[in-house]
Amino acid sequence: MVQVYDDRRFLGEDAQALAKIILTGDTGERWVKETEVFSEMMIRKMGITQDTVLLDYGAGIGRIAKSLIEKTNCSVIGVDISPDMLRESFSYVAHPNFTSMSLNKFQFLVNAGKLNVDAAYSIWALQHCDFEPAYQTIVKALPQGAPFFIANTLNRCIPVIPSGWADDGINIRRRLRDDFELTQDVTDTLSQHLPTDHQNRVFCEFMKKA
Ligand SMILES: C[S@@+](CC[C@H](N)C(=O)[O-])C[C@H]1O[C@@H](n2cnc3c(N)ncnc32)[C@H](O)[C@@H]1O
């Protein structure tokens, strides 16, 4: 059977339903703790200040963006393929330093030279994407030397019709080394804050664009 990307998997009626999709049901303690630990570490390691403009690739409803903005007064542009995630992100983040837009709009603005960012991050998102266009969007938006943070599963999890998740064999961790220099592998430190069944299935790395 030919498997086709199922983009309906990231649709939901409201923020509560979408949050369940984002952390596969772990919307309570994990949502709060993981968001806090990730954003604190990103601020320190990426040098995020009120002057920083960040791309949040696969932003969801803006869980991480909200925390970064509240802590530093930075600015974040969220990009996502899900119209429902984009819609709910405005009311969830609810801050004038946040905006979100479709993947097509963001790609258009970057390609036209009308938009670039100082830094980027992508959390539990690239694992699900049509990889190369998603990845090139991040690479093109960043200037040389810009910081990038990723948290991702080691294996690919592409949502496919009629159900389930497929692995197309792309090794994202290795692919990143073509364009980014690793600055710190924080997998062990951050994994401690994840559910035990995630701990040997993910990687979390800080890097800068080569
Ligand atoms: C597991 S959620 C993570 C959301 C957010 N990063 C967080 O940690 O709260 C994955 C997100 O990636 C988005 N996504 C999936 N494929 C994408 C693509 N090709 N480009 C942009 N976003 C995508 C989904 O719509 C969803 O919001």
pLDDT means over runs of 10, the chain (210 residues): 80 95 82 95 98 98 98 98 97 98 96 95 96 95 98 95 93 97 96 86 97
153 CA → ligand 1 middle, Å: 13
- Which domains occur in the chain, in start order? 4-180 (3.40.50.150)
Chain centroid to CA 171: how far? 17
Pocket test for ligand 1, best of 6, 82, 137, 202 (most atoms within 8 A of CB): 82
Nearest CA to ligand 1 atom 17: 129
Of residues 22, 15, 8, the one with CA closest to residue 159: 8
pLDDT at 190: 93
pLDDT at 2: 53
149 CA → ligand 1 middle, Å: 15
Helix or strand or coil: residue 134?
Answer: helix
**Hey, what long-range contacts does 98-105 have (CB within 8 A, 24 or more apart)?**
98/62, 98/65, 98/66, 98/69, 100/59, 100/62, 101/77, 103/79, 103/134, 103/137
Helix, strand, coil % in the chain, rounded to nearest 5: 40, 25, 35
178 CA → ligand 1 middle, Å: 23
